[in-house]
Amino acid sequence: MSDSLKSVLAVAGSLALAGGLLWLSLRNADMAAVGAALREAHWAWLVPMALVSALSVVLRAWRWRVLLASLGGAAPTLGLATGATFIGYLVNYAAPRAGEVARAVNVSARGGLPFASVAGTVVAERVLDVLTLGIALLLVLALYGGRVAFLTEGLGAALATRGPLLALLAVGGLVAAGLALWFLRRSAGTLARLLGGFRDGLATVVRARRPAALVASTVGIWASYAVMADLPLRLLGISGLSFVDAFAVMAVGAVGMALPSPGGAGSYHYATVQALTVLFAVGASEAATYALLSHAAQLVFYAVGGGVALVAQGTSLAALRAAPAEARAEAPA
């Protein structure tokens, strides 16, 4: 199977997943009501949303610098780490998870650090985020256990009515797994060569020189995400939900963002709509409006931030795509 065919299949599967979940998210919504809600929204709330979003990126870059400093030598500047993080978000909207490679390549090339070790710190970050998300979901279960039980009771009916779609998603998952196994077999030599440096990067979580900063930045990142989930409620005038409720919506929405669709398109919308309608009895149209607005606002913010970072660095997405092979070639055996 050629590389171009693999790319086409990956993009097609990702778009199919996004389209199917987006349809499920919006099928019960009144789009005329969605349009009316957007026209009547309090758009001044976009300013604090942008500021908190920027704070979350800076906090993520700061945490990354703490991990990178544990590799030895001088850590990249906060400006470089922030720019690379913005670029990673931008690339993720085009190709799921490719942004992680892009920001590792960016910092490796500009900071003079081994690519494999930098990539290991990116995975270390994801480990921290998965652990934090797991804690957040446990809190949601503790706070809204009865409502979640209601959701699980309806799972049988959902499987019965959505059997064809679930079968399609299952086939897509099997195809993706097959492609992954094929890639691993073809890339076994390269992976073995990179393993040493990658292990060093992953171990930075354990040997971080400033563990308090690691914890504080992680808490700050996810607290920012909770505020980013709360502000659209105010923008749209959705009443009756507290900040803790917004935290729960954020946690469930984060699960959707982790699925392999471009920038969480479709998967984020579906998870967020389900959280609002099932846990908090928000109307389908209001929930769809919230999901569409919050996702679109993030997309615009990260796309603009990523574009500005590319211009400031004097690079391009094409250069980032060409760089991984060169970076891997320079990685320590």
Model pTM score: 0.80
Domain range for residue 216? 3-329
User: Degrees (nearest 5) of the Cα angle 268, 270, 274?
Assistant: 115
- Residue 187: band (very low, low, confident or very high) from pLDDT cuts 50, 70, 90: very low
Continuous H helices in 98-162: 98-111, 115-153, 155-161
* Number of structural domains the chain divides into: 1
Pair of tokens at residue 237: 């005038």
Q: What is the pLDDT of residue 278?
A: 87
Q: What is the pLDDT of residue 25?
A: 87
Q: What is the pLDDT of residue 173?
A: 53
Q: Report pLDDT digits (tens) over 149-179.
A: 555 554 455 445 555 545 555 555 555 555 5
Write the DSSP string, 44-81. Answer: GGHHHHHHHHHHHHHHHHHHHHHHHHTTSSPPPPHHHH
Q: Report pLDDT digits (tens) over 31-44.
A: 999 999 999 999 99
Q: What is the pLDDT of residue 303?
A: 93
